[in-house]
Amino acid sequence: MENYSRAAAFIDLDAIYDNLKALKDNTKAGTKLCAVIKTDGYGHGAVPIAKRIRGLADFFAVATVEEAFNLRRHQVEEPILVLGHTQEEAFTRAIKEEIRLNVYDYETAERLSQAAVACKQTAYIHIKVETGMNRLGFQPGEQSLSEVEKIVNLPGIFVEGLFSHYSRADETDKQSAEKQHKIFSRFEEELSKRGIEIPVKHTGNSAVIIDLPQYDGDMVRAGIALYGMYPSDEVDMGRIPLRPALSLKAKVIYVKTIRKGEAVGYGGTFVAERDTRLATIAIGYGDGYPRNLSNKGDVLLHGQRAPIAGRVCMDQLMVDVTDLKEPVKVGDEAVLVGFDGKEHISVEELAALAGTFNYEFVCDLGKRIPRIYLSGGHVVGKKDYFEDDYQIRL
Ligand SMILES: *Cc1c(COP(=O)(O)O)cnc(C)c1O
């Protein structure tokens, strides 16, 4: 495996491709698939993912216009939708790069129209409708309907999409999602009555693709499922087979035996109840490995579980390896997330122990963790953040 110094995340790009394929196979024919690769692809790396699933994904979605610019800079030429807010300063560049912006008020559309006219190009937009999340979106009703009608007629504007987002589609009880879907459908119908047909209507996230395929619409937006994780443990995990794309590994950098009664780590929160073989692993909360896993999480070494002893430090953690069959030595590779022989630690296991959830766990993996990309059983790329670029004048 590719060499790394302390800790690394291995991203199986083929798993992401297969997950997307499985999701696509479970949507009705003709439904476009939008791959949500915001927050640098949920921490996995947006650019290599976009390149690997090229041709299979019809659309990409990111949270910020800067994320969209970065994809364009890396020759990602598919349609890209910005799900969040975009500041006016970025309008002209976004229009020139055919980046689809989310519009949820009339004034923004007006300013985009002016920018589009000024640069003699078309601004593609997706209009967001509020259906229950109460984050961003036009409030359904007469006023919004006439504002959308005005937007459709603005010069330089092409309303390509109409969309909304579910707040509770991942729960067993689908009443809330049902209500949101009804509100969206009604808004769509009202626009229709006014002669407005927007080509790409989309509301579905991963939970909808898995549990509510009848809500697919013209396009669905797959985020967490793309990476091989389920949006919650309440969705039907048997329906679409997914494979986690990420594994996380770190090196053993020191091994020793401490005496019964000795304490380990800050605060001395682990006290050895026996003479204890202890391994120090080169990963900590400074890398995004949660400190809440102190005295809770396990790591895998030689295919066996070893419990974390004491508090997770910023740059290291210690594990009790006394019970391992094979002796642990410096340079051994510990698996923090993923498979080691028959043993397995999932993101969900660690996230639950740390009091968080899978989405946050992967997004939080930090800048000190190089991402190593695999496809066809080979390393096909690598990214690290070891050398920072600054625009600074002191
Ligand atoms: C993040 C996000 C998604 C993807 O959600 P998943 O649960 O990860 O599939 C879809 N739509 C919007 C608007 C989002 O913000």
The predicted-structure confidence for 84-118, as pLDDT tens digits, reads as follows: 999 999 999 999 999 999 999 999 999 999 999 99
Annotation marks residue 150 as catalytic: no
Quote the CA–CA distance of 58 and 94 in Å, as a whole number: 19
Per-residue pLDDT averaged across 237-242, rounded? 95
Per-residue pLDDT averaged across 45-73, rounded? 98
When pLDDT is cut at 50, 70 and 90, the band that residue 388 belongs to is confident
Per-residue confidence (pLDDT) for residue 3, from 0 to 100: 85
DSSP line for 224-283: GGGGT--S-TTS-TTTS-----EEEEEEEEEEEEE-TT-EESGGG-EE-SS-EEEEEES-
Per-residue pLDDT averaged across 324-331, rounded? 97
CA atoms lying within 13 Å on the CB side of residue 367: 5
Q: Which of 24, 38, 128, 249 is catalytic?
A: 38
- Give the residue, out of 24, 27, 34, 36, with the most ligand 1 atoms within 8 A of its beta carbon, to mutate for a pocket test: 36
When pLDDT is cut at 50, 70 and 90, the band that residue 1 belongs to is low
Q: Is 133 annotated as a binding residue?
A: no
The Cβ of residue 259 has, within 10 Å, a number of other Cβ atoms equal to 9
Annotation marks residue 266 as catalytic: yes
Per-residue pLDDT averaged across 221-238, rounded? 97
Per-residue confidence (pLDDT) for residue 140, from 0 to 100: 97
Q: Greater confidence, 55 or 389?
A: 55
Q: Is 33 a pocket residue for ligand 1 (Cβ < 6 Å)?
A: no
Q: Which two tokens stand for residue 8?
A: 């690394």
Per-residue confidence (pLDDT) for residue 321, from 0 to 100: 98
Place of tokens 């740059």: 315
Q: Is 83 a pocket residue for ligand 1 (Cβ < 6 Å)?
A: yes
Atom of ligand 1 nearest to the CA of 63: 15
Q: Is 39 a pocket residue for ligand 1 (Cβ < 6 Å)?
A: no
Q: Which of 21, 254, 266, 385 is catalytic?
A: 266
Per-residue confidence (pLDDT) for residue 389, from 0 to 100: 87
Per-residue confidence (pLDDT) for residue 5, from 0 to 100: 93
Q: Is 100 a pocket residue for ligand 1 (Cβ < 6 Å)?
A: no
Arithmetic mean of pLDDT over the chain: 97
pTM for the full predicted model: 0.96
Per-residue confidence (pLDDT) for residue 2, from 0 to 100: 72
The Cβ of residue 120 has, within 10 Å, a number of other Cβ atoms equal to 8
DSSP element (H, E) containing 95: helix 91-96
Per-residue pLDDT averaged across 139-156, rounded? 98
Tens-place pLDDT, residues 256-302: 999 999 999 999 999 999 999 999 999 999 999 999 999 999 999 99
Torsion of CA 137, 142, 148, 154, to 10 degrees: -140
Q: State phi, psi for 358 to the nearest 5 degrees.
A: -55, -40
